[in-house]
Amino acid sequence: MDDLTPDDKARYARHLTLPQIGEAGQAQLKASRVFSVGAGGLGSPALLYLAAAGVGRLTIIDDDTIERSNLQRQILHADQDVGESKSESAMIRLKQLNPSITIEIHSVRLTTENALNLLGGHDIVIDGTDNIPTRYLVSDACEILGIPWVYGSIYQFEGQVSVFNLEGGPNYRDLFPIPPPPESVPSCEDGGVLGVLPGVIGSIQATEAIKVLLGIGEPLRGRLLVYDALEMSMRTLNFSAIE
C-alpha cells in the first residue's frame, strides 16, 4: 500500500482526523480501484466525490455524448462540452478536481463480450446506468467476478440505493428475479426526473462505496433504501437471497 505524500495529507486532512479513516484508511482509498458504469446523472456526483475522497484509480465506461438536456442534472459536464464524449469530459473534470488520481476511460458500451474483462481487477462497481438490461449484465458479471456493486436508480422524484454481492450477501436478481417488460419502465427522457435527485442518490452511492472499501459502518447489504424527494422521506426495505 502506498504511503501518503505531504500533498495527500494536506488534501485529505479532514479524513485523517476521522478515527474510522485516519492515515491507514486514506492509504486504503489511495490503493482502491472503482469502476463506474456511466458518467451521467448518477455517475457525476458519485465520481466527483470518489475522486475528491482520494480513490486512487477510477475507471469509467460510457459510450454516450453530451446533450444540452443532460446538463440539468449531469454536473460533471458543462455547456461547452455539448457534443463531446461523456467519458472524456468526465476524465478532464475529475483530473481538474484531483490530479493525483489515475483515471481510465472506455468510450464504448458495456456488453457481454467485454464486461468480465473490463470489470475484473476492481474492488467495487458503481451502477450509473439507466437501462435494465445493462443492470442485469452488471449484476451477473460482478457475481462471476466476486465484486460487490452499488446499485442506484432514479425516476421523477424517487431514487433507490442498495449494495449487492457483498460478502455473500443478496444480489440484484434476489430483489428483482425477473426483468420487467421494457415498455413498463419509462426512461428519464420519457418520464422526467428532478435535476437534484441524482445528486442525492449518487452521493449515497459514493458513501456506500467508501464504506465498503474501508470496511466501516453498515453498508446497505440486504437492504433497499428508497428516497422520496417530494415527501423528503427515506425508508429501508429488507430482502434476502433467494434459496
The CA–CA distances, whole Å, from 167 to 40, 171, 172, 210 equal 28, 11, 14, 15
Quick one: pLDDT at residue 178?
86
CB-based contacts of 206, cutoff 8 Å, min separation 6: 45, 46, 47, 49, 50, 53, 126
Q: Which strand (E) or helix (H) includes residue 144? A: helix 132-145
Within the chain, which residues score under 50 in pLDDT?
none
Quick one: pLDDT at residue 181?
74
Rounded Cα–Cα distance for residues 31 and 204 (Å): 21
Quick one: pLDDT at residue 182?
66
Give tens-digit pLDDT for 68-115: 999 999 999 999 999 999 999 999 999 999 999 999 999 999 999 999
